[in-house]
């Protein structure tokens, strides 16, 4: 039996408030515990988005009532909320800046809108960027100019990981995360030439932001593992009906599959258990200033081989892009603050047991 610390996922879309048919604070924290994750940081692209005190409280009140693992809630950077966001920094997981388009309304197109956030958000508080490709280069330049640490979300491209490596070598305060789907999957082959509606079913299931990339990109992430600070899921649940519908929203669920995928990579000698501990516990704790969870650990049967099945998952979205994948590493027990909170497919923590990482 492998014993790991309680893992931390700094990138989770909870969907409450506003889209609880996809997920809510109860189901998402059950999925986290089943995946060996005892603290999640929730993204602000909800409905309404989290961008001021009232909306932050909306999310935190729901979390307080329902969460079964520990949590934090990001505030979103908007065009005119830099003062309020800075003042809420102590209550929030950090500031999330959407610099490229994705699911939800939060987006800062014009670089003049980035400046007030870089000037005012406390230097010690985490600032997370959704910034792809050249936008990421711009975000790193802002970090250097304003001497403000930044964390780059879901790095997926060779050009990105190489630039982050170079920026770190120059002493720029940049950290980054990579998601399992960008480590284990490549872009689908071009859309089939079949008539509309025929043969297209299922294509929405490969939609995710950033998009799945080439084998060369995937290889570059693996060869630059030491540049990767965190593994994060970007758990972004949408229902199967939505994924197979007309305008499939981008996003994959991931809380219940990250650990077995990584343990499988360990069994193939592509990764070490220490890499998992560094990137899912030590580094996220430091970068996001997460207090120690005492008497908290995860017991994993690293030799159990099984097939990933959506029907066994706790997420409400009802599917996984890894359906049928054969993996190694089954979470058996999870302890949080001295109590057993998960055992062999059963959630044992009550709704409301989870605590806000900013108030432990
Ligand atoms: C995320 C979502 O659905 O909220 N989707 C995704 O493809 N990752 C948004 C995001 O993180 O960009
Ligand atoms: Zn995301």
CATH code of residue 17: 3.20.20.140
Task: Establish whether residue 250 lines the binding site of ligand 1, counting it when its CB lies within 6 angstroms of any ligand atom.
Answer: yes
- What digits encode the pLDDT tens for the residues 223-270? 999 999 999 999 999 999 999 999 999 999 999 999 999 999 999 999
Residue 200 is predicted with a pLDDT of 55
Q: Tens of pLDDT along 75-116?
A: 999 999 999 999 999 999 999 999 987 776 778 988 999 999
Q: Which long-range contacts (CB under 8 A, 24 or more apart) does 224-227 make?
A: 224/161, 224/162, 224/165, 225/271, 225/275, 227/161, 227/164, 227/165, 227/168, 227/176
Please check whether residue 14 is in contact with residue 28, taking contact to mean a CB–CB distance below 8 angstroms.
Answer: yes
Ligand 1 atom nearest residue 13's Cα: 4
Give the tens place of pLDDT for each residue, 322-341. 999 999 999 999 999 999 99
- Residue written as token pair 């190694």: 328
CA 18/CA 117 separation, integer angstroms? 26
Residue 326 belongs to some domain of the structure: no
- How far is the CA of 235 from the CAs of 31, 52, 159, 266, 328, in angstroms? 10, 23, 24, 22, 20
Residue 199 has pLDDT above 50, yes or no: no
According to DSSP, the β-strands at 297-307 and 326-336 are: antiparallel
pLDDT category of residue 194 using cuts at 50, 70 and 90:
low
**pLDDT recorded at residue 106:** 79
| Ligand 1 lined by 102 (C-beta under 6 Å) | yes
Token pair in block for residue 337: 């603050």
What is the rounded (10 degree) CA torsion for 293, 95, 224, 271?
A: 30
**How far, in Å, is the centroid of ligand 2 from the Cα of 195?**
32
Q: According to the model, what pLDDT value does residue 75 have?
A: 98
Residue 293 has pLDDT above 70, yes or no: yes
Residues in the chain: 360
Nearest CA to ligand 1 atom 5: 251
Q: 357, 71 in Cβ contact below 8 A?
A: yes
**For ligand 1, is residue 321 a contact (CB within 6 Å)?**
no
Q: Determine, yes or no, domain membership for 354.
A: no
Ligand 1 mutation target, pool 155, 181, 209, 315, most atoms within 8 A of CB: 209
pLDDT at 101: 76
Number of domains in the chain: 1
| Average pLDDT rounded to a whole number, residues 337-347 | 98
Q: Residue 77: inside a domain, yes or no?
A: yes
Task: Verify whether ligand 1 is closer than 6 Å to residue 220 (CB atom).
Answer: no
Please state the rounded mean pLDDT for residues 199-224. Answer: 91
- Quick one: pLDDT at residue 360? 57
Instruction: Please give the Cα distance from 206 to 330 (Å, whole number).
Output: 25
Rounded CA gap, 337 and 293, in Å?
6
Section 287-313 average pLDDT: 98
Q: Could you tell me if residue 310 is inside a domain?
A: no
Does the pLDDT at position 203 exceed 90?
A: no
Question: Does 208 reside within a domain?
Answer: yes
Confidence bin at 197 (pLDDT 50/70/90): low
Give the pLDDT of residue 196: 56
Task: Name the residue with tokens 């499988």.
Answer: 264
Whether 234 is in the pocket of ligand 1, judged by its Cβ within 6 Å, is yes
User: Which long-range contacts does 135-142 make (Cβ < 8 Å, 24+ apart)?
Assistant: 135/99, 135/100, 136/160, 136/163, 136/164, 137/163, 138/99, 138/111, 139/97, 139/99, 139/114, 140/164, 140/167, 140/172, 140/174, 142/111, 142/114, 142/115, 142/118
Ligand 1 touching residue 19 (CB < 6 A): no
8 Å CB contact between 117 and 95: yes
Q: pLDDT tens across 267-285, in order?
A: 999 999 999 999 999 999 9
CA of 132 to the centre of ligand 2 (A): 12
- What does the alpha-carbon distance between residue 94 and residue 98 come to, in Å, rounded to a whole number? 13
Ligand 1, pocket-test mutation among 45, 250, 252, 255, most atoms within 8 A of CB: 250
The answer to whether residues 224 and 165 touch, using CB atoms and an 8 Å cutoff, is yes
Q: Is residue 357 part of a domain?
A: no
The CA distance from 18 to 113, in Å, is 26
Domain membership of residue 137 (yes or no) is yes
Which residue has its alpha carbon closest to ligand 1 atom 9?
Answer: 103
Residue 48 maps to a domain = yes
Contacts 24+ apart (CB under 8 A), 269-275: 270/222, 271/225, 273/2, 273/4, 275/225
Tell me the pLDDT tens digit for each residue of 34-84.
999 999 999 999 999 999 999 999 999 999 999 999 999 999 999 999 999
Which SS3 state, helix, strand or coil, does residue 356 take? strand
Q: How far apart (Å, rounded) are the C-alpha atoms in residues 166 and 64?
A: 41
Q: Is the pLDDT of residue 319 over 60?
A: yes
CA of 5 from ligand 2 middle (Å) equals: 24
Angstrom distances, CA of residue 290 to CA of 65, 101, 311: 21, 29, 32
96 Rama sector, left if φ>0, alpha if ψ -120 to 50, beta otherwise: beta
Structural domain range at position 63? 2-192+199-290
Mean pLDDT score of the chain: 95
Q: Which ligand 1 atom minimizes the distance to the CA of 250? A: 7
The ligand that comes nearest to the alpha carbon of residue 101 is: 1
Determine whether the shortest distance from the Cβ of 130 to ligand 1 is under 6 A: yes
pLDDT above 70 (res 205): yes
> What band does 201 get if pLDDT is binned at 50, 70 and 90?
low
């Amino acid at each position: 039996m492998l014993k790991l610390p309680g893992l931390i996922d700094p990138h989770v879309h909870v969907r409450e408030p506003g889209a609880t048919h996809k997920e809510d604070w109860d189901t998402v924290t059950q999925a986290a515990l089943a995946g060996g994750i005892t603290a999640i940081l929730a993204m602000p692209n909800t409905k309404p988005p989290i961008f001021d005190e009232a909306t932050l409280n909306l999310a935190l009140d729901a979390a307080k009532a329902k969460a079964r693992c520990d949590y934090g809630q990001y505030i979103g950077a908007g065009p005119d909320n830099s003062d309020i966001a800075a003042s809420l920094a102590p209550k929030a997981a950090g500031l999330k800046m959407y610099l490229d388009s994705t699911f939800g309304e939060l987006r800062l197109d014009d670089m003049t809108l980035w400046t007030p956030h870089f000037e005012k958000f406390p230097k010690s508080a985490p600032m997370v960027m959704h910034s792809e490709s050249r936008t990421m280069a711009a975000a790193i330049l802002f970090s250097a100019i304003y001497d403000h640490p930044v964390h780059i979300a879901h790095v997926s491209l060779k050009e990105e990981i190489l630039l982050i490596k170079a920026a770190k070598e120059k002493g720029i305060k940049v950290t980054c995360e990579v998601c399992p789907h960008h480590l284990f999957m490549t872009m689908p082959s071009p859309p089939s030439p079949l008539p509309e509606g025929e043969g297209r079913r299922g294509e929405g299931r490969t939609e995710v932001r950033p998009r799945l990339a080439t084998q060369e990109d995937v290889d570059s992430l693996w060869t630059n593992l030491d540049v990767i600070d965190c593994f994060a899921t970007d758990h972004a649940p949408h229902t199967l009906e939505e994924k197979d519908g007309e305008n499939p929203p981008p996003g994959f669920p991931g809380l219940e599959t990250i650990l077995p995928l990584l343990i499988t990579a360990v069994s193939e000698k592509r990764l070490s258990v220490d890499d998992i501990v560094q990137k899912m516990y030590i580094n996220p704790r430091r970068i996001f200033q997460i207090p120690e969870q005492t008497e908290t650990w995860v017991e994993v049967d690293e030799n159990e081989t099984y097939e990933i099945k959506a029907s066994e998952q706790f997420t409400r979205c009802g599917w996984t892009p890894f359906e049928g994948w054969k993996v190694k590493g089954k979470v058996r027990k999870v302890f949080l603050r001295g109590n057993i909170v998960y055992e062999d497919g059963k959630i044992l923590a009550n709704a409301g047991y989870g605590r806000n990482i900013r108030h432990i």
